[in-house]
Amino acid sequence: MLHTVVSDAHNLNQRTFFMKEAYQEIEKIGGSEMSSAMQQRARDLVNGDSIVRPAYQIIKEPRFKFFSK
């Protein structure tokens, strides 16, 4: 279960991060509502606000085939 996406965005001269692309993939999998909610939780964490725990969502087909039998 994935609740939020974060990055240790330091040392940007040697490493890059791909948050926009990560949220685009999340939107493909779970829709814009899921992506927006995850972005809001990330903002809440940074701001020290309360985190609203998401409702669980069943994904019908495994995203990663190597986890299935």
Q: Where are the chain's structural domains?
A: 19-67
Reply yes or no on whether the pLDDT at 52 is more than 70.
Answer: yes
- Asked if residues 44 and 51 have their Cβ atoms less than 8 Å apart, the reply is yes
Q: What's the pTM? A: 0.64
CA–CA distances in Å: residue 24 to residues 8, 32, 64, 66, 67:
19, 9, 17, 22, 22
3-state secondary structure of 29: helix
CA-wise closest residue to 43 among 23, 13, 17, 57: 23
pLDDT tens track for 11-43? 667 767 788 888 999 899 888 998 998 899 888
